[in-house]
Amino acid sequence: MSRIAPVVGTPYLFLPQASALVVADLHIGIEAALHLEGVHLPSSTKKKVEDAIKAGKRCGAETLYLLGDVKHTVAGFSPGELKEVLYALERFTEEFDRVYIIPGNHDGGLSDVTLNLDIVYLKARGVLVGGVTLLHGHAMPPPDILGNLIVVGHDHPRVLLRDSLGISTTKRCWMKAPLKGELSGKKLVIMPPAERHSGQIVNEHPPQLLNIFFRRGLMDIKKAEIFLLDGTYLGYLHQLVPRRSGDR
């Protein structure tokens, strides 16, 4: 039986049938990239790593799946990024019995630095774990690993919320939607990113997602549902399109 359990208050997912924690889009090294754009932020690598480890202990997870975009630089490593990536991966191998990486589109060169670590580097097209298909989301999985529940990262979903005074804020969120066409009967879950500094607002109209299922017209966006990290259910995506100034 395929089961998933979002770890309430976090962007992580727990698969109880596999005793596995799933973490998407760490983007280690993003602060260095932002620095080049004039945005100066301290490294968040240690906090992201320790937050994931804490969540794993809370759930009793023995295994960790990193769902792509472990690092931020698409090809190779920016200055200082390699050191932070190695720190993160070494800490994960210390705290989890097994660590798996499903590479994302930002993970060029990552497989080379995991050769001497106790880490299993999987294919970008995904893996079937306890009846659940896990992949980053930029590559189409083969039919033999397609479960009824498919979990991806890649989109960095955030929802724009506006109060009665017109004050706006964005929050990381979960998305759940049925698939259609050749994948009818299956459901897609889009994870929030572990990384806090970026994201795309999903309730802008029309939504523009990056995952392969949306791009191939297989995601039923009209029936997509939105949840906050604390478990709050916001409703269907089409109900959450923010009003613009002057709308009534």
* Sign of the dihedral through C-alpha 85, 86, 91, 94: positive
- 245, pLDDT greater than 60: no
Instruction: Look at phi and psi of residue 116 and say left if phi exceeds 0, alpha if psi is from -120 to 50, else beta.
Output: alpha
Total number of residues shown for the chain: 248
SS3 category, 20: strand
For the purposes of burial, counting CB atoms within 10 Å of the CB of 164, is it exposed (0-12), middle (13-18) or buried (19 or more)? exposed
Cβ neighbours around 215 below 10 Å, total: 14
CA 73 to chain centroid: 17
Q: Name beta bridge partners: 99.
A: 64
* Sign of the dihedral through C-alpha 71, 73, 75, 78: negative
DSSP 233: E
Give the C-alpha separation, 76 to 32, whole Å: 14
Predicted local distance difference test score (pLDDT) of residue 209: 95
Name the more confident of 168 and 64: 64
Q: Name beta bridge partners: 120.
A: 100
Ranges of H-type helices in 173-248: 212-215
Give the C-alpha separation, 238 to 114, whole Å: 42
In SS3 terms, 94-147 reads as HHCCEEEECCCCCCECHHHHCCCCCCEECCCCCEEECCEEECCCCCCCCHHHCC
User: 91-119 pLDDT, tens per residue?
Assistant: 999 999 999 999 999 999 999 989 889 99
Name the more confident of 153 and 77: 153
Give the C-alpha separation, 119 to 107, whole Å: 15
User: 46-101 pLDDT, tens per residue?
Assistant: 999 999 999 999 999 999 999 999 999 888 888 888 999 999 999 999 999 999 99
- 36, pLDDT greater than 80: no
In this structure, whether the domain defined by 5-239 belongs to CATH 3.30.310 is answered with: no
